[in-house]
Structure 1
Amino acid sequence: MAPWLRLLKMAASAPFRQRLGWRDESALTFRVWPNDLDVNLHMNNARYLAVMDIGRFDLAIRCGFAGLVWREKLKPVVASAMVRFRRSLAPFQPFTLRSRMIGWDEKWLFIEHRIESGGELYCQAVVKALLLGRAGGLPTADLLRSLAVEAPAVEVPDWLAHWQAAEAGFRG
């Protein structure tokens, strides 16, 4: 199935699924279709990232900040991603994408994605994202306030702080 069809299917069904809280997990099920395959006849690396986009949209809709994105004409953008591919997804194999917020700071949201099949982890990723408006990135405090979420201003696990530090050294 084409990525945009998967996105439309998720968006159409989101209002009928349970609303999610700020830290809740989204779970979406998919299947590997022939147009998802690369020359090795397993799911293409780029397709994993495209499916993860759908997971983030599902979180936005079901957590309630998609309305803010629409009203304020914000653009959800990913600045970086850390991905570990553990196993290959085969043609027609069903899989589940699990997405959840694992941390944030004043500017960035850190979202974990896990792709699982048959109880096994196939791919795990963390993306660093923000909501971009005309004046720049929407501060996380403003997003939390719009969602009426009581949460600390910053919540970054130690290992994410190390990733942030390593990424700072990677800049060219």
Structure 2
Amino acid sequence: MNLWLRMIRVVLRALLGQRLAPLDTSRVYFRVWPHDLDINLHMNNGRYLTLMDLGRLDLMLRTGMGRVIFQEKWMPVVATAMVRFKRSLLPFQFFRLESRVICWDEKWFYLEQKLLRGDREVAHAIMKGCIRRSGGVVPPAEIFERVLGEAVESPAMPDSIRHWQDSEESLRAGYEGEGND
């Protein structure tokens, strides 16, 4: 139930809050509650990913992408996530989640999400996702054009994202080459 309440709060604040440009950073604030904890009495690693879903929802709604996605009955999907956990979040601590689009290509959005306690980074994630429709994937350029009424050029793809893509491709090739006996 707590996640539903958090989601409702995020949606209401996004709908009533300040609009963002497509490359702006979304900021959502949370507190660690007892049901967020694992057996080590800090926030469970899985909960970070669940809350990152809410950060992406806030970003979609506040940039105007959410309106088009929901109208068209498209579906946002995360394909890959790379997360680095740096510090623990303890019971009742406040933290903020920052989400932003880094860049995109003809199929994928690449997003950065950070959890911060004060100015200290707690976790850092890079997400690769897309928007799906019944005929396949909606190109990010099409989404931006629908939202903004004009074409938007992607920022240059950082080398770190290119390296990540190479690593992902290497993993995929390794799995496909192995027998399934």
Q: TM-score range by the shorter chain?
A: over 0.9
| Cα distance in 2 between the residues matched to 1:128 and 1:84 | 15
The yes-or-no answer on 1:82 pairing with 2:82 is: yes
How many residues are aligned here? 172
1:20-169 map, 5 Å: 20-148=20-148, 149-152=150-153, 155-169=156-170
Letter in 1 for 2:87: R
Q: In structure 2, list runs of 5 or more residues that go unmatched.
A: 176-181
Contact 1:105–1:154 under 8 Å retained in 2? no
Higher gyration radius (CA) = 2
Q: Deviations over 1:69-125 (max 9, x none)?
A: 111111110000010000000000000001001111110001111100021100000
Letter in 2 for 1:35: H
Contact 2:130–2:138 under 8 Å retained in 1? yes
Contact 2:68–2:147 under 8 Å retained in 1? no
SS in 2 for 1:147: helix
Moved over 4 A (4+): none
Contact 1:105–1:155 under 8 Å retained in 2? no
Contact 1:106–1:139 under 8 Å retained in 2? yes
Q: TM-score, normalised by structure 1?
A: 0.96
RMSD: 1.3
| Cα distance in 1 between the residues matched to 2:117 and 2:38 | 19
Superposed displacement of residue 150, structure 1: 4.3
